[in-house]
Structure 1
Amino acid sequence: MDEQLTQDIFHSPGVRALRADLALALRAAAHHGLGEGVCNHFSVALPDHGGLFLLNPRGLQWREVQAHDIVLVDDAGRRLAGAHEIEPTAMFIHAAVHRVANKACVMHAHMPYATALTLTQARSLDTTLSQNAMRFHGRIAVDAAYNGLALDAEEGERIACAIQGADIVFLGNHGVIVCGARVDHAFDDLYYLERACMVQVLAHSTGLPLARVQPAIAARVAAQAGTERVQSELFFASLRRSLR
């Protein structure tokens, strides 16, 4: 791609706004304890430029990422704009999920409680337990076949194929990927997914029998939650006011 065209895209008002949103989501995730060192990654596709997406850079903790740190990448792994390098597993996972699963926003994290559930036989969240879990009923896939670090395109594509139309995939012995149509919606799901996983782990720790609802009830709650996306937007707006 022509260098001038790349810079025009990177600095256009719409992309600048997406860069700010992605950086805010990263800082908010760090604020809520969902980050891990300088690992894990969030990305968002550019809707009018097929194959291009924004990605957090290598070597920065999420809490320090600002809009100017975000990099522009193509689906071949080339950094087109931005001052920082990109991390290889980020490139292989996110390029594949955007391309194969056709997801707009992709958030990959090793959140403590969600990752804890990937170590269990079920590998996943029970969406018939808490109300927060029910919002994900019918929206989760499981990739139980842990295959090492995603350091090649084949592994990235294998993970992307495991999504199979879901919004969330639990990666066995690894972490989670949360996808959404928008950054604020995906972040809201990421946050509440970890809350639901935390409550499930705490409930299991009591050793007491767990009380599940019928799947039909969980499906109804999921449908209800899907109509309440204004809550996701209000939450993200509050984060914009409170985090710098």
Structure 2
Amino acid sequence: MQDAAPDEAQALFHRSDLRALRNDLALALRAAAHHGLGEGVCNHFSVALPQRPDWFLLNPRGLHWGEVQGHDIVLVDAQGRRLAGSHEIEPTALFIHAAVHRIAGKACVMHTHMPYATALTLTDLRGLDPALSQNAMRFYGRVAVDAAYNGLALDAGEGERIARAMQGADVAFLGNHGVIVCGEKVSYAFDDLYYLERACQAQVLALSTGRPLQPVQSELAARVAAQTMGERLQSELFFESLRRSLR
């Protein structure tokens, strides 16, 4: 993919607020690796620039999430051109992330193949039951399922199909594939990513007992979701604790 280096991109990339955003994205990647949510050097996190929503920061190709630092993050545009940064970029990241930013209108996009969430995409459930555990209830009304697996996302059409299948949801379970988690901020998206995997883990463990599951009434699940989303300080505090504990 052709590189491009407009003066505007270079100026933005080195601004202090964008440097902080790069550091946040890198921290989220290291935290995901720390909690076992990564997969080799695959999968990607991205965040759109507030000043230019058609440009976004992205983790580079070939680096394990556990080693990514702010200076490793790359700036790209919706056409897949590298605008700033020294590393290469991976094609499937561009096709999925560019489409979700543009079509679904999401600021921060995290795509993973984390184990328990992915396990649920392999079943006829196709995802999380948001009326089971308290952790699951935070996602009530926020989840979409895309059951149409079409292989690797190696073209813009597949990325756009996934983005449209999300129908504006914050979380998408991709059949036979993995998940996408989105948020207004890096800290919010990471908090949801972490608790989504915890909720999926609890559901898989409950299913493994062979005993009937006991979901709560939908009204209660909706109320818990509203309570959780109405106060995101806990998300910020969690992210700051990761900043102190992970280097």
TM-score by length of 2: 0.97
TM-score by length of 1: 0.99
1:15-39 Cα shifts (integer Å, max 9, x gaps): 1011000000000000000000000
Residue identity in the other structure for 1:104: A
Q: Does 1:49 align with 2:70?
A: no
- Paired with 1:188 and 1:6, the residues of 2 have a C-alpha distance of 29
Cα root mean square deviation, aligned: 0.8
Residue identity in the other structure for 2:207: H
Q: Does 1:140 align with 2:179?
A: no
Q: SS of the counterpart of 1:154?
A: helix
CA-CA distance at 1:209 after TM superposition: 1.4
- In structure 1, the partner of 2:33 is 30
- In structure 1, the partner of 2:220 is 217
Conserved 8 A contact 2:110-2:180: yes
- In structure 2, the partner of 1:168 is 171
- Paired with 1:50 and 1:233, the residues of 2 have a C-alpha distance of 23
Which one of the candidate residues 89, 95, 98 is aligned to 2:101? 98
Conserved 8 A contact 2:5-2:82: no
- 5+ residue gaps, structure 2, are none
Which one of the candidate residues 78, 83, 99 is aligned to 2:81? 78
Q: Does 1:190 align with 2:193?
A: yes
- In structure 2, the partner of 1:238 is 241
After TM superposition, the structure 1 stretch with the greater mean CA deviation from structure 2, 39-48 or 208-217, is 208-217
Residue identity in the other structure for 1:171: L
CA-CA distance at 1:212 after TM superposition: 1.1
- Paired with 2:231 and 2:135, the residues of 1 have a C-alpha distance of 13
- 5+ residue gaps, structure 1, are none
Q: Following TM superposition, where does structure 1 have runs of at least 4 consecutive aligned residues deviating by more than 2 angstroms?
A: 1-5
User: How many residues get paired?
Assistant: 244
Q: SS of the counterpart of 2:96?
A: helix
- In structure 1, the partner of 2:21 is 18
- Paired with 1:129 and 1:240, the residues of 2 have a C-alpha distance of 31
1:150-174 Cα shifts (integer Å, max 9, x gaps): 0000000000001101100000000
CA-CA distance at 1:13 after TM superposition: 1.0
Which one of the candidate residues 153, 157, 160 is aligned to 1:157? 160
- Paired with 1:188 and 1:212, the residues of 2 have a C-alpha distance of 23
Residue identity in the other structure for 2:139: F
- In structure 1, the partner of 2:61 is 58
Conserved 8 A contact 2:5-2:84: no
1:55-91 Cα shifts (integer Å, max 9, x gaps): 0000000000000000000000001111110000000
Q: Does 1:205 align with 2:208?
A: yes
1:160-193 Cα shifts (integer Å, max 9, x gaps): 0011011000000000000000000000000000
